[in-house]
C-alpha cells in the first residue's frame, strides 16, 4: 500500500522527466512540404482555436486566401487579426458557420460561392466531443450532426467549386477513436441508447467512411478532387471542454499530449504534399498512411451511410455526379498535382 502511494506521489515527477522523449515519439509526423500557395483559396472549419487555428495560420503563411469558418465570429475576428499580424497575410477572412444548423451551413456556402471563383483546399476540422445528449437545430444527435452530417453537407455544397478549381483537396479530421465506433443505423440519433464517449467514436468512424466513399465516387467521376481522413493525435485543445473527466486526464498526461501546432501537421501534409493523389481515400496519422478498423473498411456500410446521410439532409444520393456534370474540362480531369 505504501509503495502504491509513493508511486502516485512520484508519478508527476516521473512523467515530467520522461516527457521530452515520449512527446518526441508521439509527435514524429511533420509536414515537410515547401509548397507556397499564392492565389489559392482555402476554407478551414473550426479555425478559431486549436488545430484549426494552427492549420489556417500555416496556410496563410504560405500565401493562401484563408476563410476561418467558425461559429464564434467575434473570437474568429480576433484570431484572424492575430494570423494577419503573424504572417503578414491580410487575406484571412472570417465567416459564420454553425455546423449544428443546416441553415447556417447553406448560408455560409451561398455567401462563399458568391464571393469566390475558386476553392482549392477544404479542411473539415471542426468537431464536438463527449457532449451531454442533445440535438442539432435539425434534430440530429449532436456528434453525428456536427462531426459528420454538417461536413457532409458543406462538402456537397462546395464540391462544384472544388471541381472547377481542380486539382483540389478535401481533408476530413477524424480520430483514432474510430476504432471503438459503430454505425448503428437503427439508432443513428442516439434516441434508443446513448453514451457520449461512444457517440464521438461513431461520428469519427463516419468521417472515415465518408472519406472513402467520397474518394471512390470522385475517382469514378474523373474528378481532379482528392480526399483524405486524418488522425491528428492526442492534442491539447478545447475539444474536451464538455467532459470534466477528460480534462482531468488531459491535465495528468499533459506532458505527452501534442500541441495544436503538432496536431495540425497531418492535416497540412494531406492538404499540401505533392504526389499524394494516388492515395486519395486513405487515412493518415503522423504524416503516414495509417491502419483503420475493419468497420472503417466496410464498403457496404460506407455506401449505406452515404445514402442515409443524403436522405437525412434532403439531397440527391447521386449529388456528386450531378455536381460534376458536363462542364469539367480536359485540363481539369488530367491535372493531378497541387500546383506551386
Domains of the chain (ranges, CATH numbers): 36-314 (3.40.50.720)
Specify whether the CB–CB gap between 197 and 128 falls below 8 A: no
pLDDT in tens, 89-145: 999 999 999 999 999 999 999 999 999 999 999 999 999 998 999 999 999 999 999
pLDDT for the residue 211: 98
200 is catalytic: yes
**pLDDT score of 322:** 67
- Using H for helix, E for strand and C for coil, what is the string for the chain? CHHHHHHHHHHHHHHHHHHHHHHHHHCCCCCCCCCCCCCCEEEEECCCCHHHHHHHHHHHHCCCEEEEEECCHHHHHHHHHHHHHHHCCCCEEEEECCCCCHHHHHHHHHHHHHHCCCCCEEEECCCCCCCCCCECCCCCEHHHHHHHHHHHHHHHHHHHHHHHCCCEEEEEECCHHHHHCCCCHHHCCCCCCCCHHHHHHHHHHHHHHHHHHHHHHHHHCCCCEEEEEEECCCECCHHHCCCHHHHHHHHHCCCCCECHHHHCHHHHHHHHCCCCHHHCCCEEECCEECCCCCHHHCHHHHHHHHHHHHHHHCCCCCHHHHHHCCCCCHHHHHCCCCCC
Per the DSSP assignment, residues forming a β-bridge with 235 are 258
Report the DSSP beta bridge partners of residue 173: 230
Residues lower than pLDDT 50 in the chain? 1-25, 240, 242, 250, 252-253, 327-337, 339-340
CA-based nearest residue to 226, from 216, 215, 217: 215
Q: What is the pLDDT of residue 234?
A: 73
Tens-digit pLDDT profile for residues 232-245: 987 655 554 545 55
Q: Choosing from 67, 133, 194, 200, which is the catalytic residue?
A: 200
According to the model, what pLDDT value does residue 7 have?
36
pTM recorded for the entire structure: 0.85
What's the pLDDT score for residue 336?
39
What was the pLDDT predicted at 1? 43
Amino acid at each position: 500500500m505504501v509503495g502504491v502511494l509513493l508511486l502516485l506521489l512520484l508519478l508527476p515527477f516521473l512523467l515530467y522527466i520522461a516527457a521530452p522523449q515520449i512527446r518526441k515519439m508521439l509527435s514524429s509526423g511533420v509536414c515537410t512540404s515547401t509548397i507556397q500557395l499564392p492565389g489559392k483559396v482555402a476554407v478551414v472549419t473550426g479555425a478559431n482555436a486549436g488545430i484549426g487555428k494552427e492549420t489556417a495560420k500555416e496556410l496563410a503563411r504560405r500565401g493562401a486566401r484563408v476563410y476561418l469558418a467558425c461559429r464564434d465570429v467575434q473570437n474568429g475576428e480576433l484570431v484572424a487579426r492575430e494570423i494577419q499580424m503573424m504572417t503578414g497575410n491580410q487575406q484571412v477572412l472570417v465567416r459564420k458557420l454553425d455546423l449544428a444548423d443546416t441553415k447556417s451551413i447553406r448560408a455560409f456556402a451561398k455567401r462563399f460561392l458568391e464571393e469566390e471563383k475558386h476553392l482549392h483546399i477544404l479542411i473539415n476540422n471542426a468537431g464536438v466531443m463527449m457532449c451531454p445528449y442533445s440535438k442539432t437545430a435539425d434534430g440530429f444527435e449532436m456528434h453525428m450532426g456536427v462531426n459528420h452530417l454538417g461536413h457532409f453537407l458543406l462538402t456537397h455544397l462546395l464540391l462544384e467549386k472544388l471541381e472547377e478549381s481542380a486539382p483540389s483537396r478535401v481533408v476530413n479530421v477524424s480520430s483514432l477513436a474510430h476504432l471503438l465506433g459503430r454505425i448503428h443505423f437503427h439508432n443513428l440519433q442516439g434516441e434508443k441508447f446513448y453514451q457520449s464517449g461512444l457517440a464521438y467514436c461513431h461520428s469519427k468512424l463516419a468521417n472515415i467512411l465518408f472519406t472513402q466513399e467520397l474518394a471512390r465516387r470522385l475517382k469514378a467521376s474523373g474528378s481532379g478532387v482528392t480526399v483524405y481522413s486524418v488522425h491528428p493525435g492526442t492534442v491539447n485543445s478545447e475539444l474536451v471542454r464538455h467532459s470534466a473527466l477528460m480534462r482531468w486526464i488531459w491535465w495528468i498526461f499533459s506532458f505527452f499530449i501534442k500541441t495544436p501546432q503538432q496536431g495540425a501537421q497531418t492535416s497540412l501534409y494531406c492538404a499540401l504534399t505533392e504526389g499524394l493523389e494516388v492515395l486519395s481515400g486513405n487515412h493518415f496519422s503522423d504524416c503516414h498512411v495509417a491502419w483503420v478498423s475493419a468497420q472503417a473498411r466496410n464498403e457496404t456500410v460506407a455506401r449505406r451511410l452515404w445514402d442515409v446521410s443524403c436522405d437525412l439532409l434532403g439531397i440527391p444520393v447521386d449529388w456528386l455526379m450531378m455536381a460534376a456534370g458536363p462542364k469539367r474540362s480536359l485540363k481539369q480531369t488530367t491535372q493531378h498535382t497541387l500546383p506551386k
